[in-house]
């Protein structure tokens, strides 16, 4: 079960995305997957390259569209474990509509967001996760005038059944949360603080270490309590890490659509002759 391939990532040395890649590879092996059972779909951005860096099926999609592709894949082949991935610009700006509706649809995929609070690939513009007043010398010298988005609070309001957050420096926790997300029978959102060492000089590794509040500090915390999750998220300004919320009861989309009975498309016999197939191909040419 080796999820490593021989492609050398071209992320900047020190980029948080390296740890996310390692955590996915470890988690996939730990839950007993084989490379042929796993598909990783990514969007556009530095993080979007991750689908090519893991030994599994990979699909590098278009900007903000990793979730529709991942959902189509899962619906066509329920046997496949599907991970969607991307950055905060990809998933919480252009892709936010898909994010919210995938959450409420509760389809059984794991969505991993590499949240570096900036647009890295396009050289440092404020992203939806950049704080108000966030400055970059070339792109926002006067500071961002918009408020930062609170994705986990939005996810909770949208009916999420699994919400977790981690930090790329905490590989043990991140791997464990991805394992739990892969085992969750519904949509799992895992937001990962993944520093951009090249363009984000504010939200650095040290900044995250100082500002993160880990759920281990609250022994009475109950991740099945939605109100407690929202309260704690708001109290910590969204800097909470750990398993924040999980609903193990709600049925997922596939269970409701297929009712556990019907084979997914990929498992069904295609009753079509070679001539009919050729005719169909000609029609679509
Ligand atoms: Fe990572 Fe930032 Fe470099 Fe992109 S620009 S690879 S996000 S460090």
Whether pLDDT at 260 is above 60: no
Residue 197: its pLDDT value, please? 98
What domains, with CATH codes, occur in the chain? Answer: 17-260 (3.40.50.970)
Cα(232) to ligand 1 centroid in Å equals 30
Residue 277: its pLDDT value, please? 85
* Residue pLDDT, tens place only, 6-61: 999 999 999 999 999 999 999 999 999 999 999 999 999 999 999 999 999 999 99
Cα(166) to ligand 1 centroid in Å equals 18
Q: Is 206 exposed, middle or buried (0-12, 13-18, 19+ CB in 10 A)?
A: exposed
- The more confident residue out of 280 and 81 is 81
Residues with CB under 6 A from ligand 1: 11-12, 15, 17, 46, 116, 120-121, 196-199
199 Cα nearest atom in ligand 1: 2
């Amino acid at each position: 079960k080796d999820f490593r391939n021989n492609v050398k990532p071209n992320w900047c040395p020190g980029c948080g995305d390296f740890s996310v890649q390692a955590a996915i590879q470890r988690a996939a092996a730990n839950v007993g997957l084989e490379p042929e059972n796993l598909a990783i779909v990514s969007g556009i951005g530095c993080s979007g390259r991750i689908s090519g860096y893991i030994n599994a099926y990979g699909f590098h999609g278009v900007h903000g569209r990793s979730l529709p592709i991942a959902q189509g894949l899962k619906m066509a082949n329920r046997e496949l474990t599907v991970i969607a991935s991307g950055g905060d610009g990809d998933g919480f700006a252009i892709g936010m509509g898909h994010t919210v509706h995938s959450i409420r649809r509760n389809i059984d995929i794991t969505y991993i967001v590499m949240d570096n609070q900036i647009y890295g690939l396009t050289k440092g513009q404020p992203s939806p996760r950049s704080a108000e007043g966030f400055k970059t010398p070339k792109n926002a010298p006067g500071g961002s005038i918009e408020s930062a988005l609170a994705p986990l609070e939005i996810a909770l309001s949208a009916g999420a059944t699994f919400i977790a957050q981690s930090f790329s420096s905490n590989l043990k926790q991140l791997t464990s949360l991805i394992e739990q997300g892969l085992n969750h029978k519904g949509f799992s959102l895992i937001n990962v603080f993944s520093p951009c060492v090249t363009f984000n000089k504010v939200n650095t590794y040290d900044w995250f270490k100082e500002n993160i509040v880990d759920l281990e500090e609250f022994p009475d915390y109950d991740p099945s309590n939605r109100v407690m999750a929202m309260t704690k998220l708001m109290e910590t300004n969204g800097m909470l890490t750990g398993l924040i919320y999980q609903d193990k009861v709600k049925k997922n989309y596939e269970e409701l659509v297929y009712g556990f009975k019907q084979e997914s498309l990929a498992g069904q016999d295609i009753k079509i002759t070679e001539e009919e197939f050729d005719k169909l191909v000609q029609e679509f040419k």
